[in-house]
């Protein structure tokens, strides 16, 4: 028997089947578990969630004289009701990046917490239940619908310490955006997002000391790291709900089109479209991120390097679609305009990859900061075209991310 009850009716020993509300509103990454910790009970009551579903067959029931809000005979009835409520609340109307940045930052923070918890449970031998993962992917996908660049850019503001977890969030967003660019249907796009979120789950079984080692890995350590696709594949097989796309991407996102990848050394058409997508998204986020052993490259420089690697590493069609997804000058790229100003890209152009929106803030002629001004290069003369890309490190602009995002710092 499944009962919908008020959170104030919850007691220790009850089996929480699901929350009646957005995944963003409750404090846990998974929705189904027995409540055994008073702190968890207090967290639920302190959240904005007012009602939950409990499964009386797997935990304690309400007292006989206490009436539930509603009753359901099957889990399917609950899922239909929750899906209906969720679809009514979903917000996918397009907005500008500066509007979406703050919302995306909250989603990224919540997602990082969820991925951290998921990795922790895997380390303790618990199987993955992908229901929570699906809801996380839905939130990320909705943000991508509102603005494709905002969440991807915010997720790039990771630190070397939380790279493993934030990397999963970033690749999820990139996979969703790339799937849409390639014209995949909504179900395939959802599957691509889930695959991106789970692609590195095998790293949960790799020692943190190895993953975050600041120096060069030994041959034994490198072999251990290279085992994460197969470890991840086995983790998903032991859990429930992971589809064929997730299993494929987890196992094959390090394959290369020339057969030099791992773990199966697959070539060309032997690698699925989704695995090829995973390879591009994984590499892009990896090389744009600060790692314990190296600083990340700027987005535009990363695309330039990846272009050089396309032959033999990436499927050209997939890589070209990826470039269209994030732009030739991705959000956060420091550029110099022909007028002599420096600025950061804050939005892609709607008609041209060469003419994004730029927030200028520095004059190279006077060599000083100027009042930030947003220039839409699609609606300006050539006097404002991009001349070249600049390295933020050489210009000592330590707060560049604050300039383009409007946020005080990384969301982690």
Q: What angle do CA 172, 344, 384 make, to 5 degrees?
A: 130
pLDDT (0 to 100) of residue 84: 66
Q: In 90-200, which ranges are continuous DSSP H helix?
A: 97-123, 130-146, 150-155, 163-181, 186-198
Write out pLDDT tens, residues 57-95: 999 999 999 999 988 878 777 777 776 665 556 788 999
pLDDT (0 to 100) of residue 412: 45
pLDDT (0 to 100) of residue 164: 84
- Tell me the domains of the chain and their CATH numbers: 2-86 (no CATH), 97-326 (1.10.3210.10), 333-405 (no CATH)
Q: Which residues contact 317 (CB under 8 A, 6 or more apart)?
A: none
Which of 345, 324, 361 has its CA nearest to residue 156?
345
Write out pLDDT tens, residues 154-178: 888 777 668 888 999 999 999 999 9
Strand pairing report for 70-72 and 51-55: unpaired
pLDDT (0 to 100) of residue 83: 67
Q: How far apart are CA 192 and CA 198, in angstroms?
A: 10
Ranges of the chain whose pLDDT falls below 50: 411-412
Q: Which helix (H) or strand (E) holds 45?
A: helix 38-46
* In contact, 159 and 113? CB cutoff 8 Å: no
* In contact, 330 and 318? CB cutoff 8 Å: no
Query: Which residues lie across from 240 on neighbouring strands?
Result: 129
Strand pairing report for 334-337 and 386-389: antiparallel
Supply the pTM of this predicted model: 0.86
pLDDT (0 to 100) of residue 217: 92
Place of tokens 């397009």: 94
């Amino acid at each position: 028997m499944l009962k919908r009850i008020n959170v104030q009716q919850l007691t220790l020993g009850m089996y929480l089947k699901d929350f009646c509300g957005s995944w963003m509103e409750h404090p846990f990454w998974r929705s189904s578990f027995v409540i055994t910790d008073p702190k968890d009970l207090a967290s639920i009551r302190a959240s904005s969630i007012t009602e939950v579903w409990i499964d009386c067959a797997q935990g304690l029931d309400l007292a006989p004289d206490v009436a539930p809000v509603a009753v359901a005979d099957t889990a399917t009835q609950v899922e239909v009701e929750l899906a209906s409520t969720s679809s009514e609340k979903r917000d996918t109307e397009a907005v500008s990046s500066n509007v979406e940045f703050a919302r995306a930052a909250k989603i990224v923070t919540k997602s990082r917490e969820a991925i951290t918890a998921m990795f922790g449970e895997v380390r303790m031998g618990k199987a993955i239940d992908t229901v929570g993962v699906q809801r996380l992917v839905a939130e990320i996908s909705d943000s991508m619908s509102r603005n494709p660049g905002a969440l991807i850019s915010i997720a790039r503001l990771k630190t070397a310490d939380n790279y493993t977890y934030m990397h999963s969030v970033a690749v999820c967003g990139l996979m969703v955006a790339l799937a849409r660019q390639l014209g995949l249907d909504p179900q395939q796009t959802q599957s691509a997002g889930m695959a991106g979120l789970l692609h590195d789950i095998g790293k949960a079984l790799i020692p943190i000391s190895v993953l975050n080692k600041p120096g060069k890995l030994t041959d034994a350590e490198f072999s251990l790291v290279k085992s994460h696709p197969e470890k991840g594949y086995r983790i998903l097989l032991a859990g429930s709900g992971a589809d064929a796309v997730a299993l494929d991407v987890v196992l094959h996102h390090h394959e290369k089109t020339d057969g030099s990848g791992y773990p199966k050394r697959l070539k060309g058409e032997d690698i699925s479209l989704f695995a090829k997508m995973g390879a591009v998204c994984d590499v892009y986020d990896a090389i744009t991120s600060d790692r314990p052993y190296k600083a990340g490259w700027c987005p535009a420089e990363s695309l330039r390097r990846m272009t050089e690697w396309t032959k033999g590493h990436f499927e050209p069609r997939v890589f070209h679609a990826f470039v269209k997804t994030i732009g030739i000058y991705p959000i956060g790229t420091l550029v110099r305009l022909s007028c002599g100003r420096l600025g950061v890209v804050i939005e892609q152009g709607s008609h041209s990859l060469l003419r994004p929106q730029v927030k200028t803030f520095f004059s190279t002629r006077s060599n000083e900061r100027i009042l930030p001004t947003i220039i839409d290069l699609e609606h300006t003369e050539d006097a404002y075209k991009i001349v070249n890309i600049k390295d933020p490190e050489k210009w000592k602009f330590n707060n560049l991310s604050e300039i383009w995002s409007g946020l005080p710092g990384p969301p982690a």
